[in-house]
Amino acid sequence: MQHRISRRALVKGGLIAGALVPAIGLIGNSAGAAMTPLDPNDAQAKSLGFVTSGSKVNVSANPTFKPTQKCNNCAQWQGKASDPTAACNIFAGHSVPADGWCKVWAAQKSGA
Protein backbone atom coordinates (compact mmCIF):
# COMPACT_ATOMS: atom_id res chain seq x y z
CA MET A 1 0.00 0.00 0.00
CA GLN A 2 1.44 3.33 -1.03
CA HIS A 3 0.68 6.59 0.72
CA ARG A 4 0.91 9.65 -1.46
CA ILE A 5 1.29 13.18 -0.21
CA SER A 6 -0.56 15.78 -2.19
CA ARG A 7 1.23 18.85 -3.43
CA ARG A 8 -1.15 20.98 -1.37
CA ALA A 9 -0.25 19.09 1.85
CA LEU A 10 3.46 19.38 1.07
CA VAL A 11 3.26 23.16 0.52
CA LYS A 12 1.11 23.60 3.64
CA GLY A 13 3.61 21.60 5.73
CA GLY A 14 6.50 23.64 4.35
CA LEU A 15 4.79 26.91 5.22
CA ILE A 16 4.06 25.74 8.76
CA ALA A 17 7.65 24.56 9.23
CA GLY A 18 8.94 27.85 7.84
CA ALA A 19 6.86 29.77 10.37
CA LEU A 20 8.01 27.62 13.30
CA VAL A 21 11.76 27.96 12.71
CA PRO A 22 11.94 31.70 13.60
CA ALA A 23 9.61 31.14 16.57
CA ILE A 24 11.90 28.44 17.94
CA GLY A 25 14.85 30.81 17.52
CA LEU A 26 13.05 33.49 19.56
CA ILE A 27 12.36 30.99 22.33
CA GLY A 28 16.04 30.04 22.39
CA ASN A 29 17.13 33.69 22.62
CA SER A 30 14.77 34.46 25.50
CA ALA A 31 16.15 31.50 27.43
CA GLY A 32 19.64 32.99 27.13
CA ALA A 33 18.43 36.21 28.73
CA ALA A 34 17.52 34.30 31.91
CA MET A 35 21.12 33.29 32.67
CA THR A 36 22.25 33.67 36.25
CA PRO A 37 25.67 35.01 37.17
CA LEU A 38 28.15 32.22 37.92
CA ASP A 39 28.75 31.76 41.63
CA PRO A 40 32.48 31.39 42.36
CA ASN A 41 31.49 28.83 45.05
CA ASP A 42 29.79 26.59 42.45
CA ALA A 43 31.51 23.17 42.44
CA GLN A 44 32.49 23.36 38.75
CA ALA A 45 33.67 26.97 39.13
CA LYS A 46 35.84 26.04 42.12
CA SER A 47 37.34 23.03 40.33
CA LEU A 48 38.35 25.27 37.41
CA GLY A 49 39.74 28.05 39.60
CA PHE A 50 37.10 30.56 38.46
CA VAL A 51 37.43 34.08 39.86
CA THR A 52 35.28 37.11 39.11
CA SER A 53 38.36 39.28 38.56
CA GLY A 54 41.77 38.39 37.17
CA SER A 55 43.32 40.36 40.03
CA LYS A 56 42.11 37.61 42.41
CA VAL A 57 43.93 34.74 40.66
CA ASN A 58 46.24 32.74 42.91
CA VAL A 59 49.32 32.95 40.67
CA SER A 60 51.27 30.30 42.59
CA ALA A 61 48.44 27.79 42.07
CA ASN A 62 47.97 28.84 38.41
CA PRO A 63 51.46 29.28 36.93
CA THR A 64 50.14 29.60 33.36
CA PHE A 65 48.02 32.66 34.25
CA LYS A 66 48.94 35.96 32.59
CA PRO A 67 47.36 39.30 33.64
CA THR A 68 46.07 39.89 30.09
CA GLN A 69 43.92 36.73 30.22
CA LYS A 70 40.29 37.59 30.91
CA CYS A 71 36.95 36.00 30.12
CA ASN A 72 36.19 38.59 27.42
CA ASN A 73 39.28 37.59 25.39
CA CYS A 74 38.83 33.83 25.88
CA ALA A 75 37.72 31.50 23.09
CA GLN A 76 34.84 30.31 25.33
CA TRP A 77 33.35 33.84 25.70
CA GLN A 78 30.00 34.14 23.90
CA GLY A 79 29.59 37.92 23.92
CA LYS A 80 31.29 40.94 22.41
CA ALA A 81 34.58 42.02 23.95
CA SER A 82 32.84 45.18 25.22
CA ASP A 83 30.04 43.29 27.05
CA PRO A 84 30.28 43.50 30.88
CA THR A 85 29.00 39.89 31.18
CA ALA A 86 28.21 37.12 28.73
CA ALA A 87 27.60 33.40 28.40
CA CYS A 88 30.49 30.97 28.51
CA ASN A 89 30.75 27.59 26.76
CA ILE A 90 32.19 26.05 29.93
CA PHE A 91 29.57 27.25 32.43
CA ALA A 92 26.28 26.54 30.64
CA GLY A 93 23.30 28.56 31.83
CA HIS A 94 25.45 31.11 33.64
CA SER A 95 26.95 34.44 32.71
CA VAL A 96 30.52 35.33 33.59
CA PRO A 97 32.07 38.78 34.06
CA ALA A 98 34.34 40.21 31.38
CA ASP A 99 37.18 40.56 33.88
CA GLY A 100 36.83 36.98 35.19
CA TRP A 101 39.24 34.08 34.63
CA CYS A 102 39.40 30.28 34.94
CA LYS A 103 41.86 27.49 34.14
CA VAL A 104 40.11 26.77 30.84
CA TRP A 105 41.09 30.17 29.39
CA ALA A 106 42.19 29.82 25.76
CA ALA A 107 43.17 32.51 23.30
CA GLN A 108 40.57 33.48 20.73
CA LYS A 109 41.47 32.55 17.18
CA SER A 110 42.37 35.54 15.07
CA GLY A 111 39.65 36.68 12.73
CA ALA A 112 36.91 35.47 15.10
Task: Delineate the domains of the chain, giving CATH numbers in brackets.
Answer: 7-97 (4.10.490.10)
Residue 39's identity, in one-letter code, is D
Residue of higher predicted confidence among 89 and 110: 89
pLDDT reported for residue 32: 46
Task: Give tens-digit pLDDT for 8-18.
Answer: 876 777 667 66
Report phi then psi at 76, rounded to 5: -85, -15
What's the pTM?
0.68
Query: Quick check: 28 pLDDT over 60?
Result: no
Average pLDDT over residues 36-45: 96
Structure confidence at residue 27 (pLDDT):
54
